[in-house]
Amino acid sequence: MALNFNSDIHYTPYVDESDLDPAIKLIESGLSEPYSIYTYRYFVQQWPELCLLARNEHEKCVGVIICKLEPHPARRRHSSLLRGYIGMVAVDHAYRKRGIGSTLVLNAIDIMKRMGADEVILETETKNKGALSLYEAVGFIREKCLCRYYMDGSDAFRLKMWIGKPEPLVTL
Ligand SMILES: CC(C)(COP(=O)(O)OP(=O)(O)OC[C@H]1O[C@@H](n2cnc3c(N)ncnc32)[C@H](O)[C@@H]1OP(=O)(O)O)[C@@H](O)C(=O)NCCC(=O)NCCS
């Protein structure tokens, strides 16, 4: 039987800038890509409900996910498809492999669904086996490979999850 390692962890939405500092520290220690404070503020100020923090029993932030939800960029003129985007996810090293990362991802997707998302996408390094296993376990599929996507020259996979029905193929 699986143990519930998560019972001492609770999840809260972003409230104000006091949440940003611990979130940035976690992301900087987990991800190689550097982001400016303006990038973080771009996300959390427009979509605070899509920034979730995992906290331990002492209220210490031990996990974070930062997302956004916008009209699909290629189809803005033709339809009202909404695309969710998972920008960053990180869990404190000491708290990994307890289900916190997948709980953050599933909670964020659930909120995006309730906000009307039709699909959710993200990018992750092709060599990030842990993240790829997590995302594929919750239902993402590999849509494309983005060559030299990151600033350090590494490649990324674009992963996608359809929330409604996949778009029909166009037949000529
Ligand atoms: C990726 C990350 C967020 C996972 O967080 P986590 O809380 O450890 O993930 P979970 O415990 O929810 O793991 C869920 C599943 O993901 C997979 N997984 C997670 N970490 C893994 C690892 N190191 N190796 C292989 N599979 C892994 C497993 O399938 C796992 O299920 P299991 O425990 O039943 O085997 C965390 O390792 C992290 O912060 N990494 C650095 C930042 C990062 O890479 N972010 C994602 C890129 S956008």
Cα 161 to middle of ligand 1, angstroms:
18
Cα 172 to middle of ligand 1, angstroms:
42
List residues near ligand 1 (CB under 6 A): 30-31, 89-91, 96-102, 124, 128-131, 133-134, 137
How far is Cα 48 from Cα 42, in angstroms, rounded to an integer? Answer: 10
Cα 131 to middle of ligand 1, angstroms:
5
Nearest to 119 by CA among 146, 90, 137, 143: 143
CB 35 within 8 A of CB 76: no
The preferred substitution site among 102, 109, 122 for testing ligand 1, maximizing ligand atoms within 8 Å of CB, is: 102
Q: Name which residue sits closest to atom 32 of ligand 1, judged by CA.
A: 97
Predicted local confidence at residue 4, as pLDDT: 43
- What pLDDT digit, counting tens, does each position of 65-102 carry? 999 999 988 765 656 899 999 999 999 999 999 999 99
Q: From the alpha carbon of 89, which atom of ligand 1 is closest? A: 45
Q: Name which residue sits closest to atom 20 of ligand 1, judged by CA.
A: 130
For the segment 50-71, the average pLDDT, to the nearest whole number, is 97
How far is Cα 27 from Cα 34, in angstroms, rounded to an integer? Answer: 9
Predicted local confidence at residue 1, as pLDDT: 34
Q: From the alpha carbon of 128, which atom of ligand 1 is closest? A: 44
Nearest to 119 by CA among 155, 156, 67: 67
Cα 74 to middle of ligand 1, angstroms:
31
Residues in Cβ contact with 161 at an 8 Å cutoff, skipping those fewer than 6 apart: 109, 119, 120, 121, 138, 139, 140, 141
> Domains, the chain, ranges and CATH?
10-162 (3.40.630.30)
Least confident of 41-55, 73-87, 138-152: 73-87
